Structure 1
């Protein structure tokens, strides 16, 4: 066998048949690549496809981008090309220059209109926060700090506690809320390492770590007094409290939203944060927080976008998977990219009315072309012209693979009325939510891939969709697929009023209702906070 009949990929020899495919790819160009990919997926399985895509994507990226430039002092900047704490100019990172690839490369995958610089005030605040975090992290043993508190310790702490009952979307929304609260109250944010966070996300803070040590005594937080009990004990200086800010709360837990409670929490050294909600919109209603928040986020509709692109950057193995799929299915073929996320809370099984409503949403809003129900092809000259001119790439995420299969088969078996080409792709379909590492890794990759779309369709009430829209700075088309929607009289989907996720359960305490509101603050709330479209009792940030 001659040398050109073999290809080395990740240290393993691949048989000569895939080599012939690779040679044809290089000869015939990118369109043939996608045809080959689909054929391989069907005939040889996903494992071989992933190997070939790895070879193609990384070789191509490496050959065209030889180096990466990072800022000399790794400080947070308000660069026009990045919203992270490292400024980059090229697409490929090295471990030495940028240990977290996604921090340096994320903007290279986005369209220029989707890149948003950090506001100067936020950039300054994050730099100061990182200095505080580093100082507290390096000057004490965290396990000892909670077991034997030092009354002279100037640091205060907030520990994000994960609850295995909730999905990744809920965890991300809650994590960002915990970070904003930590930023506003000058607390060192630390995260529970007993679940998947260390494997999913890069360390966000320069010269520090948000990971608790392996011997950290979590029981000190889990068994700490709840909010109401802490208030009765008058929160002795250096005390510990466990906040339960879930979607279901008792009136005692809702005391968190009282201004007096916030004043008294300043004495608490350690806060355990258990939540499944996105409380950032709610923080804008706090009299003591709204002015600082407006300064940090002058365009409030980009609040989640800035936070997520700073805090939830995927670890390198996850990022490589994101980059590989994006390169294979999006970058090589020009055209509109449409992300579709389908999730029904009532039932995870395939639901025919949901599929029909999804297709109706896509077609009626011009996201995909309609198909010829007669099955007859359009004239060849028109079809060839349009297929070269208009191409649509649809990326589908759902626990149920049948939604993807039905959409793909529709565009395989029937011609489009305008002759344009539609390609439908998916990455995973686990059928059942398990919270295994493999599943949450795929979920994070899919959130990022959806966020790189030109247009996005999400499911009502889905925190998974909330993360994707906020991360991508996209106003989504929200599928109206809750409950028995055949009788709701609603359109198939509605264009979202904001990029921001919904705070589904904002709650309101008696103490707030009895307070006299500041007129300027009240007018600001009327202009920038509205009920959510998919949950009328929830609230959402709006930029006029």
Structure 2
């Protein structure tokens, strides 16, 4: 396996700088090494609170020491301002949740009591004052995980639950703690922490308990008569979410469980917007529907200082001084492989049709001088390529290295790494993947492969509508259409649930809900958008 970061020295006369990435060192901020299975520890109260700009208008809490997680308040400085307004109600909801998590989270008396009841096999009814939990378990790659964590957090906000994460080795040390004074990491020794038990056929799953008569939807039993926990398997199965939990009757019954275990590979936030009992609350939290992941992702996910060092060094070396940044993210899926030549030709077609990069010229442009005879600075465009393979970088770089552009602009092409294959269980691989997601999210324009959750996360952070490189039809090797512009910055729910609920009817919600459309890259998928 070829696993490395590419380091190049580049001299730009127009800028007057030579960049040597390997000579750039980490910043002077303190690096906080997280304990095993714990993300970087939160530190409360900075001597001088961050400005409202760093707090993203109030989205982020000011109750952190900046040095403990440098990316929390610095990452946004590398991006253009958000195109979305922040709802004051969402800010209020987040501050309320933070207090709830601090009261009920790991290490508290309430948490110890809830764990003891779970271990004893009891579900309890503690009234509105009780602490309820949803425990997230990982599934698939980093992009999928980030989308499902954001979806699960939204579900926690709506259902008054504390979000806890089961963090595997390959995910350790990637993210800082998002909630002040507490942790979102599930402590060791959790009574039901065996991930091998969490599958579609698990007897504890909500659907299977309904099938087996353990519980009955539509009935409202006493909480103490229920099993000690419920499992939601919100995973794509035959292009449908396997658990139909998005009906009011189901949500009312699920709300009686103190403990909920959840595993998903899908961005199921759009399905929550289709649950009647949550519609009004979501409308207050997100008046702009397509800002859901944009806001929640920037609230939740902050690379630890180690990962942020990778991001910031690369950005400062290659991207900080350019005029425009264009990101290309290429993902080849094993179930529908596309030959390199075909994928490259499709990317070039998209570049030309959408004018994402300057046209190539046939002759060197004349010297560009001002009236005073001084050489005029040329514009520089940086192309950032995120792919497991180096071929796209080599060909695009060669194209602009060997030929001038008609406009005289300089096009510099970079690729941080090429791992050759995805490695779900490698911590080092996931550090690089997270770094590249953030670097891609700093681009002004993004073109990405269809179906890619990696790309969804990046453009969601950026708040830009990407160009999507469409998949060929199943019986074709080449896509007739190179790329289309997304109508929304929201990720796609690839596998929508059946929403007929008790009627057992399949309803095309895209035809009846004004804020839901089918995805450009997944015809049967759903995404939120603003009319």
**Secondary structure of the structure 1 residue equivalent to 2:231:** strand
**Alpha-carbon distance in 2 for matches of 1:473, 1:263:** 34
Please say if 1:365 is aligned against 2:354.
yes
**Secondary structure of the structure 1 residue equivalent to 2:276:** coil
Please say if 1:233 is aligned against 2:220.
no
Please say if 1:532 is aligned against 2:519.
yes
Please say if 1:161 is aligned against 2:137.
yes
Partner of 2:119 in structure 1?
Answer: 147
**Alpha-carbon distance in 1 for matches of 2:332, 2:103:** 45
**Secondary structure of the structure 1 residue equivalent to 2:190:** coil
TM-score normalised by the chain length of structure 2: 0.81
Whether the 8 Å CA contact 2:490–2:528 is kept in 1: the answer is yes
**Secondary structure of the structure 1 residue equivalent to 2:388:** coil
**Secondary structure of the structure 1 residue equivalent to 2:164:** strand
Report which stretch shifted further, 438-447 or 341-350: 341-350
Alignment map for 1:192-271 (pairs within 5 Å): 192-217=166-191, 218-219=193-194, 222=198, 225-231=204-210, 232-234=213-215, 236-237=225-226, 239-248=228-237, 253-271=242-260
Partner of 1:45 in structure 2?
Answer: none
Q: State the shift of 1:485 in Å.
A: 5.6
Whether the 8 Å CA contact 2:240–2:498 is kept in 1: the answer is no
Whether the 8 Å CA contact 1:480–1:494 is kept in 2: the answer is yes
Q: State the shift of 1:79 in Å.
A: 7.8
Q: State the shift of 1:71 in Å.
A: 7.0
Partner of 2:32 in structure 1?
Answer: none
Alignment map for 1:44-193 (pairs within 5 Å): 49-50=21-22, 52-54=23-25, 81-82=56-57, 84-87=59-62, 96-112=65-81, 114=82, 118-137=86-105, 138-139=108-109, 140-141=111-112, 143-148=115-120, 149=122, 151=124, 154-163=130-139, 166-193=140-167
Q: Give the counterpart of 1:444 among 417, 434, 445.
A: 434
Please say if 1:377 is aligned against 2:364.
yes
Please say if 1:489 is aligned against 2:480.
yes
Aligned length: 480
**Secondary structure of the structure 2 residue equivalent to 1:31:** coil
Q: State the shift of 1:96 in Å.
A: 4.8
Q: Residue deviations 1:209-251, cap 9 Å, x none?
A: 1111122231397366111233321273462111111111699
Cα RMSD for the two superposed structures: 3.5
Q: State the shift of 1:324 in Å.
A: 1.2
Partner of 2:307 in structure 1?
Answer: 318
Larger RCO (alpha carbons 8 Å, 6+ apart): 2
Please say if 1:335 is aligned against 2:310.
no
Q: State the shift of 1:478 in Å.
A: 0.7
Partner of 1:344 in structure 2?
Answer: 332
Whether the 8 Å CA contact 1:81–1:117 is kept in 2: the answer is no
Stretches of structure 2 that go unaligned for 5 or more consecutive residues are: 1-8, 30-43, 216-220
Q: State the shift of 1:133 in Å.
A: 1.0
CA change 1:155–1:96 in 2 (3 A) is closer
CA change 1:301–1:233 in 2 (3 A) is same
Partner of 1:91 in structure 2?
Answer: none
Q: State the shift of 1:508 in Å.
A: 0.8
CA change 1:500–1:252 in 2 (3 A) is closer
CA change 1:386–1:167 in 2 (3 A) is farther
Indicate the structure with greater helix content: 1
Q: State the shift of 1:268 in Å.
A: 1.3
Whether the 8 Å CA contact 2:328–2:446 is kept in 1: the answer is yes
Q: State the shift of 1:300 in Å.
A: 0.9
TM-score normalised by the chain length of structure 1: 0.80
Partner of 1:402 in structure 2?
Answer: 391
CA change 1:125–1:78 in 2 (3 A) is farther
